[in-house]
Amino acid sequence: MPPDQPHASPAPSTQKVWDAPTRLVHWLFVFCVAFSWWTAENDRMDLHYWSGLTLLGLLVFRIYWGFAGPETSRFSKFVKGPRAVLGYLPKLLRPNYRAAFGHNPLGALSVAAILIALTMQVTLGLFASDTDGLESGPLSRYVSYELSKDAGDLHEDFFNILLALIGLHIAAIVFYLIIKRANLIGPMVTGRRRAENAEGPAAGIAPVPLWRLAIGVLLAVASVWLVLR
């Protein structure tokens, strides 16, 4: 009889593509942007103030996590140049399309644009002041009233640009779901997706040490505390 052959480990049926901190921050962004819009529309500037500060902390963490997080969350892994973006377009049109491991080059542009726009929106809000100066950002005291008023006007107008970027992001998600049969929402909830027809290692991302996460949380909290001092 032939000697027993070792059994190969079966390939995992799902691939871990998003870590818990990235997913949590993503959905908190969604909630806080929507909540900030609601508070502004309903003249609840007290709540708007704290929603903006929460967004500040989330942004600080996400920017840090873009350098210290797992590979699908790192800017160096998904932010590509024009050549990579143009090279991705033919792959997108192929019938045997394979989902990118994390953000694809086009999606990376959308994510980067939204993060930049959010950073600008929150920064303007920190320095903003309304007409009577009663509802002001926590850093408005460091600039002149005229500059603070201009920041407030830009803060209000720039939100339309942020909305347009979010709309394009949602349209892309719908395109992938309907045309390419690629569900991008599910993995951002569960962290996992089906491993077949997907790029990247079969098991997905590697775990990140907890001390890196702790540093990110401390940085986020410290940023809000410094602004409120």
Is pLDDT at 223 greater than 70 in this prediction?
yes
* Mean pLDDT calculated for residue range 143-167: 94
What's the confidence (pLDDT) of residue 3? Answer: 52
Determine the topology of domain 14-203+210-228 in CATH.
Answer: Fumarate Reductase Cytochrome B subunit (1.20.950)
Please state whether beta strands 14-16 and 192-194 pair in parallel, antiparallel, or not at all (unpaired).
antiparallel
pLDDT tens sequence across 19-73: 999 999 999 999 999 999 999 999 999 999 999 999 999 999 999 999 999 999 9
* Mean pLDDT calculated for residue range 180-189: 90
* Mean pLDDT calculated for residue range 189-217: 87
List own/partner pairs for 140-146 with CB under 8 A and 24 or more apart.
Answer: none
Give the residue extent of every domain in the chain: 14-203+210-228
What's the confidence (pLDDT) of residue 212? Answer: 97
Which residues contact residue 41 at a Cβ distance below 8 angstroms, ignoring those fewer than 6 apart? none
CA distance 180 to 175: 7
The residue ranking higher by pLDDT, 201 or 216, is 216
For the chain, what is the mean pLDDT? 89
Is pLDDT at 8 greater than 70 in this prediction?
no
CA distance 62 to 28: 11
Confidence bin at 1 (pLDDT 50/70/90):
very low
pLDDT tens sequence across 123-149: 999 999 876 656 789 999 999 989 999
CA distance 197 to 123: 41
CA distance 99 to 167: 22
What's the confidence (pLDDT) of residue 27? Answer: 97
CA distance 212 to 43: 38
Is pLDDT at 205 greater than 70 in this prediction?
yes
Q: Which residues pair with 194 in a beta bridge?
A: 14
CA distance 199 to 35: 35
